[in-house]
Every structure is written in structure tokens, then in C-alpha cells.
């Protein structure tokens, strides 16, 4: 809960952010070295994806100890120093709590394998024989969700990789263990938490086959999820911390429950519906042109729906699981700058708390990997094999990965035009994007009209104008499907925001009264193109106007 409407969060993927000891992997001291940069951008919190000990099969989302730091990333002292130094700059640290599953290398799972009943009940084991899986569900990373343990004669559930075993939240002891993790990090001075796929923690009482889907309808926003979250928040006393739940394939109704302050669950939630508008028949691995009409409808429904029932949205386009937005919905070449700025404005003026993923603020693009050897992500590698088995050629499969792989967002942060983009002095764990000589922090900082400067401005405006952080939102109907436009209002203050999603001119109606409003932000230097009651928006143009008080 709490009110975080005027805050902006910056997401750091530590492995790819800054490498202080030149081993090719980013680390905590690397982040400490970039605090001035984050302060300059103006963000309030940094969320670090997992830095806990892990075999790194899923880049840290396979945790083997929740209360230590993986030596690859540094030490506990480094984390304490980061928390302290960030705090001195008014930046709070948020950590990633991966509580749906643990690594199978976690001591609990190892003891379960060794036959300890207590720890078997920490996970979801089912008796059976190798010829019959408990259900036909499909894992999020491809293949079945069950793995057989011969020595026990049991199957265990893993919604993600087979090295990520799902925890049994029905077991009170499991819930207590996880609460202790939160308590531990609270005493270290952590200011907030992101909860990984937390709407999947409550599994159904009876496990049954899914004949119409992949099984997700049985465990998504499950029967006891709200009860578990209320208990977790209350017992750890994080009611006033910033908390964000990652909600996979969720519903508006469920998210209202997770984020309405009266429910005392989380401050806000991530949902992904707006990022599936280019999935053919909802399938991530089948390409399709973006459906702009559904994009607009999804934003309208979620924004107006959350507002009506007092839910709160996390606003974002990018994270470590998503391809870069400028490559996906914008333009990497001719309108690179314009489209990156428009996409930013489009969500930063909505009702919710914005998240910026490292590199988004300088317009970083997709990786453009050409061979399978360049990919590191477990999901991408699994699906490459699946696509080939389904009959795709190597070229076709690589073409799909180039659009959809999570590695698109995991290439090293581009700091400068030096070798390896100034991320490291040695070859990084994953290849640097070839465009680092053009797209990098140094280049952006020497340009007053940069994408970086635009993000700074967006953050500053949110701090200055309560209509952005607290105002109501209403979407404007436009005849043109390529425009997302909305009005923000609060106590006589008013903003109108138009965004042209495409690379061609479009026009929209401008009401007479709006003609006296002042333009406060845009991504084209010259005046607004108004002719009578028509406003022309140029390729990827964004315009924000504000009501004037005389
Ligand atoms: O992601 C959850 C999730 O379901 C997706 O983002 C998923 O990676 C994608 O949709 C598959 O197509 C979270 C983390 O953000 C991700 O990095 C982890 O791999 C995953 O949980 C498991 O912990």
C-alpha cells in the first residue's frame, strides 16, 4: 500500500549493468559506481533483479539462498554499502523476492530429495510412476511442468524450468520461512520489494488435466492467493513499503484486489496484457504485427477500471523479460529518437507508478543476434529446439528469437563508445549490441534534446504536477486507431496527451477550449500543427498540453 504515485522506479539487471571488477559480469559495486547517474536521472527507487546465490539457470530466478549475496555479484558488505549510499541520495533499494519457487539446489529441495518428509512438504510432490504425469500442464519455458524423481517414486511441480521447483504455500512452515526472508532484508534497510510471479503461488486443491489450455487457468490468481498475501504483508509489517507484485496472465478484478489500499496487499501490480498485442492467437512464439486497436482498448480498460475500483498500476513497457520497446513498437532508425520519446510519454502520463528498465532511458534497441550461440536465456534456448521440432527452419526460428527473446533486453548497458560499451574491460557474459558507438549514455548526455533528457523531464514533471501523479484519467475517443489520447484532471488542473503510434501523419479533433492550453511537452521542436479543429500529429509525435489559469 502506501502512496507511491509521484515516485519513479528504475530497474537494474545487475548482471548487465556495470562490471566493477572486470570479470565480464556486472556486480553490486558496479551499481554503486553509477549512483550519480541514477540521481541525475531523478529516480526514487532502484529495483535489483535477484543477486542471491544461484546456479544461474534462469539468471538468478533460481535462488538457493534468499539471505545471502552471490559472490559473482559481490558481498553482503557491498549490498549494505549500496543501500547506505543510495539512501544518502534519496534512492531506496528494492529487492526481488522469488517466492513461487526455489532452485532445486536449495537446501530445502536437497533435503526433500534425500527423503526428509518435512522438506518434501515444502514443495509440490505427487506419488506416481514414470509413465503417468500428474497433469498435462505445460511449463512457461516449454515442456511439461512435472519432473520425475526416480529415487522417491514421485513427481514434483515446476511451472518454470525443471531446476525451479514450486513451493507449497499451503504449508504454514513455508510461509513462515519466506516471511523471515522479508524480515531479514528489512533489517538491512531495504525499502521495498518486487514479488516474482506471485499470483501463481496458490495452487488448486485438486490437480486436473487441462484440455483447453496449458494449465494456467488452474493456478493463476489461485484460490488462496489474496489470503496468503495479506498474511505475508501483515506479519512482516511491510504495509507502508513500496511493494509490487508481478502478475502473470492475470485479470483486472484480481489486480484490483492485489492493489486496492483497503485490501492491504501490495502497492501496485505489473500485468502484461499490453505486451501481448503482437502475439498471434496469444502465442509468444508466433509473430504478428502489433494490434494497435487492442493496445488502446487494453490501456483504456485497465486504466479506467483500476481507477474506478481504486487499484494502482505499475506503468512499464520494458523489463528483463521483454524485447526493447523502441524496436517493438517504435522505429530503430529514422524516428528512433521521436518514437522512444513518444513511447515514454505515452505511459508516464498515465495513472500509476512508472518503471524504467536500464537502457530504456537512452533508447537501447533489441540485440540483433544472428546465431544461436549468442543466446544465453534458458527460455530462448528451449523454444529454439521446440520451434525446430515443430518444423521451422533454423533461419525462421532465429527470426522469431530475434523478435521475442528475453536476451534482447539483457545485453550490457551502453555507457560509452569505448570497447564493450564501457560496461567492462573484458568480453561480457553476453554480447554487447553493435550499435553502442551511436547509442550510449555519454552521447546522450552531451545532447540537450536526448531521450535521456526527455526521461529526466518526465520524472521532473511528475514531481511538479499533482495532476500527473494524482489526477483522474479518461481516454479520448479518436477516429484514428493509431492515436492513444487521454485527459488527466484534478482540482481544476487539466492535461491532454496525444500519442501517434505510427510513422505517418494522423489527425485528431482539437476542441476549441483546448486551443488556449499551453504545450508543456513534445518530441518535435516546432509548433503544434493545428488547422481549424484538426490537430495533425507527425510520425510518432507526442504532445502534452495544459490548461492555463489566468
Ligand atoms: O517472469 C515471469 C513470466 O512468466 C514471464 O515474464 C516469462 O519470463 C515469460 O512470459 C515467458 O514467456 C518472472 C521473471 O521476471 C523471469 O525473469 C523469471 O524467469 C520467471 O519469473 C521465473 O522466476
Q: Which atom of ligand 1 is nearest to the CA of 406?
A: 8
Q: How far is CA 111 from the centre of its chain?
A: 33
Q: What pLDDT score was predicted for residue 550?
A: 75
Whether the per-residue pLDDT at 181 is higher than 60: the answer is yes
What residues contact residue 109 under an 8 Å CB cut-off, 6+ apart? Answer: 102, 103, 119, 122, 123, 165
Average pLDDT rounded to a whole number, residues 444-462 = 97
Closest C-alpha to ligand 1, atom 6: 321
pLDDT of 121 over the 90 cut: yes
- Looking from the CA of residue 101, the nearest atom of ligand 1 is 23
Q: What is the pLDDT of residue 179?
A: 98
Beta bridge partners of 148: 155
- Residue 2: per-residue pLDDT: 58
pLDDT attached to residue 433: 98
Distance from the alpha carbon of residue 196 to the mean position of ligand 1, in angstroms: 8
Contact 73, 27 (CB under 8 A): yes
Ligand 1: which of 12, 13, 61 to mutate, most ligand atoms within 8 Å of CB? 61
pLDDT tier at 3 (50, 70, 90 boundaries)?
Answer: confident
**Tens-place pLDDT, residues 10-47:** 999 999 999 999 999 999 999 999 999 999 999 999 99
Residues 6+ apart with CB under 8 A from 116: none
List pLDDT tens digits, range 284-336: 999 999 999 999 999 999 999 999 999 999 999 999 999 999 999 999 999 99
Contacts of 60 (CB under 8 A, 6+ apart): 15, 49, 50, 51, 52, 54, 70
Q: Which residues are the active-site residues?
A: 196, 246
Render pLDDT for 229-280 as a digit per residue (tens, 0 to 9). 999 999 999 999 999 999 999 999 999 999 999 999 999 999 999 999 999 9
Ligand 1 atom at minimum distance from 249 CA: 4
Mean pLDDT for 122-147 is 97
As given in the structure block, the three cell numbers for residue 7 are 515516485
Mean of all residue pLDDT scores within the chain: 97
Name which residue sits closest to atom 14 of ligand 1, judged by CA: 196
* 3-state SS, one letter per residue, for 467-530: HHHHCEEEECCCCCCCEEEEEEEECCEEEEEEEECCCCCEEEECCHHHHHCEEEEECCCCCCEE
Nearest CA to ligand 1 atom 11: 140
pLDDT at 62 over 90: yes
pLDDT at 6 over 60: yes
* Nearest Cα residue to atom 1 of ligand 1: 197
The answer to whether the Cα torsion of 368, 371, 376, 381 is positive or negative is positive
Beta strands 529-531 and 534-537: pairing type? antiparallel
Q: Output the ligand 1 site: residues, CB below 6 A.
A: 58, 61, 98, 140, 160, 196-197, 246, 248, 284, 320-321, 379
Which residues does residue 127 pair with via DSSP β-bridges, in sequence order? 154
Cα-Cα end-to-end distance for the chain: 37
Q: Is 151 exposed, middle or buried (0-12, 13-18, 19+ CB in 10 A)?
A: exposed
Element (H, E) at 83: helix 76-88
Residue 526 has pLDDT above 90, yes or no: no
With the most atoms of ligand 1 within 8 angstroms of its CB, the residue from 58, 96, 197, 382 to mutate is: 197
Q: Give me the phi and psi of 147, to 5 degrees please.
A: -130, 140
Q: What is the pLDDT of residues 185-198, one digit of tens each?
A: 999 999 999 999 99
> What distance in angstroms lies between residue 362's CA and the mean position of ligand 1's atoms?
24
Instruction: Report CA(312)–ligand 1 centroid distance (Å).
Output: 21
What the block records as the C-alpha cell of 392 is 521451422
Tell me, in angstroms, the distance from the centre of ligand 1 to residue 208's CA.
24
For ligand 1, atom 17, which residue shows the shortest CA distance?
321
As a whole-number percent, the residues of the chain with pLDDT over 70 amount to 100
**Residue 511 Cα to ligand 1 middle (Å):** 44
Q: How far is the CA of 246 from the centre of ligand 1 (A)?
A: 9
pLDDT of residue 1 exceeding 60:
no
| CA-319 nearest atom, ligand 1 | 15
Chain-centroid distance, C-alpha 268:
13
- The pLDDT score that the predictor gives to residue 44 is 98
Burial of 334 per CB tally in 10 Å (0-12, 13-18, 19+): exposed
Enter the C-alpha cell of residue 210: 487441462
% of the chain at pLDDT higher than 90: 98
For ligand 1, atom 9, the nearest C-alpha belongs to: 321
pTM over 0.85: yes
Average pLDDT over residues 422-441: 98
Average pLDDT over residues 400-410: 98
Cα 125 versus chain centre, distance: 30
Question: Who contacts 12 (Cβ-Cβ below 8 Å, separation ≥6)?
Answer: 31, 46, 47, 48, 49, 358
Calculate how far, in angstroms, residue 496's C-alpha sits from the geometric centre of ligand 1. 35
Report the pLDDT averaged over residues 110-136: 98
Looking up cell 523502441 gives 326
Residue nearest to atom 2 of ligand 1 (CA): 197
Phi, psi dihedral angles at 15 (to 5 degrees):
-55, -30
Give the pLDDT confidence of 63-99 residue by residue, as tens digits: 999 999 999 999 999 999 999 999 999 999 999 999 9
Q: What angle do CA 83, 186, 73 make, to 5 degrees?
A: 45
Amino acid at each position: 500500500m502506501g502512496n507511491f504515485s509521484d515516485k519513479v522506479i528504475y530497474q537494474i539487471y545487475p548482471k548487465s549493468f556495470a562490471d566493477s571488477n572486470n570479470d565480464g559480469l556486472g556486480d553490486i559495486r558496479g551499481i554503486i559506481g553509477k549512483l550519480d547517474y541514477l540521481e541525475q536521472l531523478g529516480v526514487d527507487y532502484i529495483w535489483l533483479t535477484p543477486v542471491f546465490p544461484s546456479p544461474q539457470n534462469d539468471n538468478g530466478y533460481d535462488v538457493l539462498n534468499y539471505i545471502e549475496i552471490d559472490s559473482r555479484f559481490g558481498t553482503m558488505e557491498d549490498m549494505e554499502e549500496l543501500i547506505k549510499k543510495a539512501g544518502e541520495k534519496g534512492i531506496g533499494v528494492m529487492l526481488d523476492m522469488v517466492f513461487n519457487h526455489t532452485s532445486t539446489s536449495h537446501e530445502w529441495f536437497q533435503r526433500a530429495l534425500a527423503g526428509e518428509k518435512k522438506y518434501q512438504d515444502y514443495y509440490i510432490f505427487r506419488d506416481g510412476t514414470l509413465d503417468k504425469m500428474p497433469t498435462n500442464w505445460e511449463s512457461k519455458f516449454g515442456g511439461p511442468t512435472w519432473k520425475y524423481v526416480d529415487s522417491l517414486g514421485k513427481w514434483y511441480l515446476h511451472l518454470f524450468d525443471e531446476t525451479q521447483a514450486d513451493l507449497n504455500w499451503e504449508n504454514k512452515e513455508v510461509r513462515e520461512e519466506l516471511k523471515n526472508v522479508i524480515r531479514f532484508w528489512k533489517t538491512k534497510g531495504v525499502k521495498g520489494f518486487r514479488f516474482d510471479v506471485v499470483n501463481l503461488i496458490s495452487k488448486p486443491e485438486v490437480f486436473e488435466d487441462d484440455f483447453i489450455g496449458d494449465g494456467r487457468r488452474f493456478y493463476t490468481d489461485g484460490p488462496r492467493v489474496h489470503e496468503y498475501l495479506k498474511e505475508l504483508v501483515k506479519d512482516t509489517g511491510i504495509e507502508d513499503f513500496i511493494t509490487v507484485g508481478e502478475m502473470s496472465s492475470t485479470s483486472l478484478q484480481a489486480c484490483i484486489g492485489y492493489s486496492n489500499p483497503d485490501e492491504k496487499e501490495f502497492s501496485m501490480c505489473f500485468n502484461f496484457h499490453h505486451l501481448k498485442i503482437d502475439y498471434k492467437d496469444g502465442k509468444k512464439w508466433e509473430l504478428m504485427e502489433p494490434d494497435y486497436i487492442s493496445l488502446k482498448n487494453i490501456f483504456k480498460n485497465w486504466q479506467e477500471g483500476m481507477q474506478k475500483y481504486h487499484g494502482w498500476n505499475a506503468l512499464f513497457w520494458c523489463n528483463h523479460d521483454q524485447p526493447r520497446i523502441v524496436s517493438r513498437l517504435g522505429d530503430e532508425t529514422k524516428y528512433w529518437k521521436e518514437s522512444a520519446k513518444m513511447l515514454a510519454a505515452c505511459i508516464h502520463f498515465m495513472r500509476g507508478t512508472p518503471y524504467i528498465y536500464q537502457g530504456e532511458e537512452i533508447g537501447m534497441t533489441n540485440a540483433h543476434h544472428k546465431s544461436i550461440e549468442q543466446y544465453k536465456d534458458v527460455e530462448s534456448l528451449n523454444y529454439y529446439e521446440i520451434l525446430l521440432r515443430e518444423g521451422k527452419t533454423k533461419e525462421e526460428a532465429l527470426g522469431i528469437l530475434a523478435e521475442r527473446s528475453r536476451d534482447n533486453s539483457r545485453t550490457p548497458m551502453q555507457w560509452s563508445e569505448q570497447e564493450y560499451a564501457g560496461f567492462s574491460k573484458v568480453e561480457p557474459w553476453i554480447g554487447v549490441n553493435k550499435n553502442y558507438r551511436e547509442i550510449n549514455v555519454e552521447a546522450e548526455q552531451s545532447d540537450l534534446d536526448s531521450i535521456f533528457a526527455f526521461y529526466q523531464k518526465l520524472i521532473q514533471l511528475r514531481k511538479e504536477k499533482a495532476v500527473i501523479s494524482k489526477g483522474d484519467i479518461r481516454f479520448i475517443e479518436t477516429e484514428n486507431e493509431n492515436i492513444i489520447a487521454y485527459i488527466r484532471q484534478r482540482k481544476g488542473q487539466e492535461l491532454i496527451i496525444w500519442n501517434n503510434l505510427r510513422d505517418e501523419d494522423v489527425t485528431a479533433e482539437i476542441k476549441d477550449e483546448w486551443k488556449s492550453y499551453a504545450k508543456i511537452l513534445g518530441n518535435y521542436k516546432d509548433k503544434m500543427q493545428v488547422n481549424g479543429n484538426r490537430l495533425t500529429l507527425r510520425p510518432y509525435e507526442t504532445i502534452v498540453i495544459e490548461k492555463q489559469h489566468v
